[in-house]
Amino acid sequence: MVDSYRKINYSLRPAKAIERKMLIEAVRRLSVFGSLYSYRYIGFGSIYFSDFSLFHKSLGLKNMLSIERDKPDNESHKKRFEFNKPYGFINIEFGDSWKVLPTIPWDGIKTVLWLDYDGTLDTFCLKDISTFFSKAVSGSFIAISFNIQDQCTEEKTTPLQRLENAVGDNKVPRNINPDKDLLGWERAEVFRSIINNDLDFYKPNAEFYKIDVPCLTFREIRKLDSLIPIDKKDYPTIHIPVGDIDKYQNIYRYFPTFTEADL
């Protein structure tokens, strides 16, 4: 989605903030392959560069590349991205990721690549993934995220037809149930299956993890923090819906806190 940063402030979404922190914790495990300072981070920074700031502050990464698709021929847009870079060592390449990724050097550079698409899965996404697995050196890491919602309301085509048009009908699993598997979160498993079919040498567990963020007040958060680990027998005394307590306990270490600041 071109210009999506104009509609969405990517730095203020609770689920996205949690996702970033979970990713940081996963990347820390890469230290067994070598110093994290030697890693390069590649992502889609948008004008907010939230993930870039977090990766640098948390892991010390300084070799960073942001790929920006938005209107590469428009100098005012380029200047806006450059102006919003939080650090001078962040490089920006303007263009589609499937065109940019094959042109950058990969030899000898361990890479953390976050393909954080704001759109749905398509053939260009699969090209990016293939580029990484064909060029990345041992010890590299890839994370891939999509919008799993069917973004087309066109009545002339079915969800299955739109998916086949997006990725190629030969990529779509033959055993899916279009009336069930292409609705809501079930699409996440279909996307995972398509990616795995594109990479026949890699077969991970098909289970996905849904980041489910409860709506809590700051006072409720402080109360829950003071009780963790929370015994289920104490739930009735907390006066917060049981489901929200469970959700918070699952992600409390990554839960973001937003506040207004006059900088």
Sheet holding 90-94, edge to edge: 90-94, 63-68, 40-43, 111-116, 141-145
- Please check whether residues 29 and 109 belong to one and the same domain: yes
Phi and psi of 68, rounded to 5°? Answer: -120, 120
* Distance spanning both ends of the chain, measured CA to CA: 31
Domain interval for residue 19: 4-147
Q: Do 11 and 121 sit in the same domain of this protein? A: yes
Burial of 22 (0-12, 13-18, 19+ CB in 10 A): middle
CATH number at residue 98: 3.40.50.150
- Among candidate residues 186, 184, 242, the one with its CA nearest the CA of residue 214: 242
Domain boundary among 128, 147, 166: 147
* Domain identity same for 244 and 135: no
- Is 40 inside any structural domain? yes
Q: Is residue 239 part of a domain?
A: yes
| Residue 81 pLDDT class (50, 70, 90 cuts) | very high
The answer to whether residue 184 is domain-embedded is no
The Cα–Cα gap between 63 and 106 comes to 13
The verdict on 31 and 143 lying in the same domain is yes
For residue 47, being part of any structural domain is answered with yes
In this predicted model, what pLDDT tens digit does every residue of 58-71 receive, in sequence order?
A: 999 999 999 998 66
| Residue 31, SS3 per DSSP | helix
113, 147, 181 — which closes off a domain?
147
Q: Is residue 186 part of a domain?
A: no
How many independent structural domains does the chain possess? 2
| pTM of the predicted protein model | 0.80
43 plus 135 within the same structural domain: yes
229 within domain boundaries: yes
Alpha helices by DSSP H, listed for 101-139, are: 123-135
Give me the count of residues in the chain: 263
Q: Which of residues 109, 128, 147 is at a domain's end? A: 147
Three-state DSSP class for 129? helix
Q: Which of 38-42, 152-156, 236-240, 250-254 has the highest mean pLDDT?
A: 38-42
DSSP state of 104: S
Say yes or no to pLDDT of 122 above 50: yes
More confident: 85 or 257: 85
Position 170 in a domain:
no
pLDDT at position 123 over 70: yes
H/E stretch holding 64 reads strand 63-68
Q: Is the Cβ–Cβ distance between 255 and 236 less than 8 Å?
A: no
Q: How far, in whole angstroms, is CA 110 from its chain's centroid?
A: 19
Q: What percentage of the chain carries pLDDT values higher than 90?
A: 54
- Same domain (yes/no): 226, 119: no
CA-nearest of 217, 211, 249 to 18 is 211
Positions of E strands within 80-128:
90-94, 111-116
Residues 137, 232 share a domain: no
Rounded to whole angstroms, the Cα distance separating 19 from 208 reads 13
Asked whether residue 209 is assigned to any structural domain, the reply reads no
* Residue 1 pLDDT grade (very low, low, confident, very high; cuts 50, 70, 90): very low
Span 223-245, mean pLDDT? 91
- The answer to whether residues 14 and 142 belong to one domain is yes
Task: Based on the fold, state whether residues 233 and 103 are members of the same structural domain.
Answer: no
How far apart (Å, rounded) are the C-alpha atoms in residues 141 and 30?
Answer: 8
132: which 2 tokens? 């990484």
137 lies in the same domain as 242:
no
Are 136 and 226 found together in one domain?
no
Give the pair of three-digit tokens for residue 106: 């990969």
Q: Clarify whether residues 142 and 229 are in a common domain.
A: no
